[in-house]
Structure 1
C-alpha cells in the first residue's frame, strides 16, 4: 500500500466509521482503519483493511498514522457518560486536530452535528463546533458533514417500548430531523473520495423528519401492541439522566444540549437525504435484539 492509494478512517468499527471503511473497501480503495480494540476489527482486516490501533489522545502516534494516507475521515468518539464527556471529548478533539497539522493530508472529512455552535459545555454542540474550527486551522481542504438526530439514540427505548411506553424530553408531536448511521457513513465516503473543491458544511438527514409519536408507532408496529409517549418535564431532565448512570457533569451537559436543541437553530434548505426510514431502522433493531435474547 502506498500513501497515494490509502484513506485513513477514524472510528472504523463504530456505527458511522464502519460504513465509511466498508464502503471504501467495497469500491476498491485501500484503507488504514484506526481502532481502539483490534479484536473488533477482525472482519475489516479480513476484507483487506490495514488495522492501526491508536489512542486518539496520543497526538504523535495519530499523526504518524495519518501520514500513511492521503485523505482522512475524522470522527471524535463519544466519551462514556459516566465521565465528564465535555472534558474527555475536548481532549481527544484537540489531539486529533493537532495530529492533522503536519500530517500532509490533501483533504479531510469531519463528522459533526446539526446545531454545532459555540457555548459553555453544551455537549456535542459545543465540542464539535470547536473540533470543526480546530481541524480547519490546519488549512487543508475540509468537508464537514453535520448529521441530524441519530436513530441510534432510540436504541435504549426498546425495553421501555416492550412495556408499552417510551419517555423523551422532546414534545411528542415535534418533528425532528433524524438519520441512520449508514446514511451518514455513505455521505462521508462520497465526500471523502470526491473532488478537492467539495469542501465546507453540508447537512445529512434521513428521508423525512419524524416525531416521537412516530417513534412510538414504529415500535408498536413491530411489537404488536400499543406504545405511548411520556414527555419528561424540564425540571426532571438532570435527575432522569442521573438515574440511568450519567455523571453529574454529563447530565448537566446533555440537559443543556437538549434545551438548546428545543430552542431551535438554523436548519438547512437542501440537506443530503439518506434513504433509510425510521420504520426500517426500528424494524431492524427489534429483529436484531429479539434474535439475541
Structure 2
C-alpha cells in the first residue's frame, strides 16, 4: 500500500493518479472529508487525518509500506515558515515507529541550510530529518513548478497581463506537476534499495515572457509581462494576501533564484510536458 500525503494538491494528486492507473493500492491522506468521494471513485482508500495529529497519522502510515511525503504548504496569510516547520515536525514524529519500508519526499531546487531562506530551509531540514529516521528514502528536488503560474490565468484573461518578480527574460528550470508525479510514482514502485537525490526538470528552461506567450497562445489574445521591481516585492505580495512573514519568505526565495544561489544537476531527469502544453491544459480545464 502506498500512502500519499498532499494528494489534494498538484503534485500529490499526480502521484496518486499515476499509481492508481498502474493498478497500485493507494491510500490518500486528507483532513477534508469532502474531498474523499472523488478518490474513492478512482479506487483509492481515504484516511481522514490532520498532519498535526501525530498518533492518528502514525496509524495511517502503518496501513502501508511506502510513503510519498509532501509537507503541506502553509496558507500565505500566515507565518509560512513557522507553520511548515510545525507540520514537518509532526510528520517526522509520525514516521518514527510506523514500519514504513521506503519514503519518497518532494523537495525543491534551492533547498539549503540557513535562516531567512523561507521554504528552502524547511525543505532542507526535511531532507536531513529523513536521514535520521534510518528508513530508506529518496528525495526529489523539483524545478520551479509550472503550477505556480496558475494564479495568473485570471489576470491573463481579464487584463492581458501576468505579473512576475523575475525579469521577463530570466529563464529558469520549470517542471509540470504531472512529470513530478510520474517520477515519484516510479521511485515508489522500485526496489527499496533504489534511493538517492534526484533533480527533475521539464523539457526546456523558460522565463516569464515565455509564460505570457503560452497564455497568449492558449487564450488567443495578447498577454504581456508586468515585472515587479525588487523594491516593491513585499508591498506587492502583501497586497496579494501574503502576511509580512510570508512576503519576506517569498522575497528571500526569489532572491536565491535570481542570484542563482542553488545547486543544479548536469544531468537532471527531464519530463515531457512543455510549458505551452501545461498552460493550454490549464485554460482548457477552466472552459
| TM-score range normalised by the length of the shorter chain | over 0.9
- Does the 8 A contact of 1:55 with 1:62 survive in 2? yes
Residue 204 of structure 1: CA displacement? Answer: 1.0
Alignment of 1:43-82 (within 5 A): 43-82=38-77
Aligned CA distance change for structure 1 residues 213 and 191 (closer, same or farther; 3 Å) = same
Secondary structure in 1 aligned to 2:10?
A: coil
* Alpha-carbon contact 1:86-1:121 (below 8 Å) kept: no
1:1-293 superposed matches below 5 A = 6-162=1-157, 163-264=159-260, 265-289=262-286, 291=287
2: distance between equivalents of 1:31 and 1:229?
41
Normalising by structure 1, what TM-score?
0.94
| Cα distance, 1:123 vs structure 2 | 2.1
Shift of the alpha carbon at 1:48? 2.3
RMSD: 1.2
Query: Are the counterparts in 2 of residues 178 and 205 from structure 1 also a CA contact under 8 Å?
Result: yes
Give the Cα separation in 2 of the matches to 1:89 and 1:226.
38
How far 1:87 moved relative to its partner? Answer: 0.6
Return the alpha-carbon distance in structure 2 between the equivalents of residues 50 and 236 of structure 1: 46
**Any idea what the Cα deviations from partners look like across 1:82-130, whole Å, max 9, x if unmatched?**
1111011110011111111111111100011111011214222111111
Number of residue pairs aligned between Structure 1 and Structure 2? 285
Structure 1 range deviating more: 20-29 or 187-196: 20-29
Greater CA drift, 221-230 or 195-204: 221-230
Q: How much does 1:196 deviate?
A: 1.6
Aligned mates of 2:196, 2:275 — CA distance in 1: 28
Please state whether the residue corresponding to 2:113 is helix, strand or coil.
coil
For the residues of structure 2 that align with 1:285 and 1:70, how far apart are their CA atoms? 34
Provide the C-alpha distance between the structure 2 equivalents of 1:38 and 1:17, rounded to a whole number of angstroms. 17
